[in-house]
């Protein structure tokens, strides 16, 4: 169950649900899994600092807790798409977005049905829960 935790320094106008839906679909596509187990958190107005950002510039951080097994190319593809979208959607300069991955075995992720299995590329059709 990936948990994509977005923190953005600026208060955001409007609902975050369209962004969360976009992030969920992106994750499923890039990481070759379903959407039913993807969790997204968006915190805006966070007190963030990034050494390379000016004090008055927007900053965004994505902490992505994911199941181990994804390639460096998959992780980079997701990060690049997020960086681009944050600039388009909320004006965060690309150099002011930081993406951090923490990988766990599947058994560290639990839903009502139980623990997830570790990721493998054969789950891409049905996802971690056996359905899309």
Residue-wise pLDDT tens digits, 107-124 = 777 777 877 776 766 665
Q: How confident is the model at residue 125 (pLDDT cuts 50, 70, 90)?
A: low
Tokens at residue 1, please? 């169950």
Residue-wise pLDDT tens digits, 1-16 = 799 999 999 999 889 9
Q: Give the total number of structural domains in the chain.
A: 1
**CATH number, domain at 14?**
3.30.429.10
**What range defines the domain where residue 19 resides?**
3-113
| pLDDT at position 132 | 41
pTM: 0.85
Note whether residue 45 is domain-resident: yes
- 3-state per-residue secondary structure call for 36-86: CCCEEEEEECCCCCCCCCCCCCCCEEEEEEEECCCCHHHHHHHHHHHHHHH
Residue-wise pLDDT tens digits, 72-96 = 999 999 999 999 999 999 999 999 9
């Amino acid at each position: 169950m990936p948990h994509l935790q977005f923190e953005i320094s600026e208060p955001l106008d409007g609902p975050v649900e369209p962004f969360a839906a976009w992030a969920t679909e992106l994750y499923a596509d890039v990481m070759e899994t379903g959407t039913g187990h993807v969790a997204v958190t968006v915190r805006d107005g966070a007190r963030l600092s990034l050494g390379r950002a000016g004090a008055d510039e927007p900053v965004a951080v994505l902490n992505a807790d994911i199941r181990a097994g994804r390639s460096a190319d998959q992780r980079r593809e997701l990060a690049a798409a997020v960086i681009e979208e944050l600039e388009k959607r909320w004006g965060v300069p690309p150099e002011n977005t930081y993406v951090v991955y923490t990988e766990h075995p599947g058994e560290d992720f639990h839903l009502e049905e139980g623990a997830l299995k570790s990721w493998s590329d054969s789950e891409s059709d049905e996802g971690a829960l056996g359905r899309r």
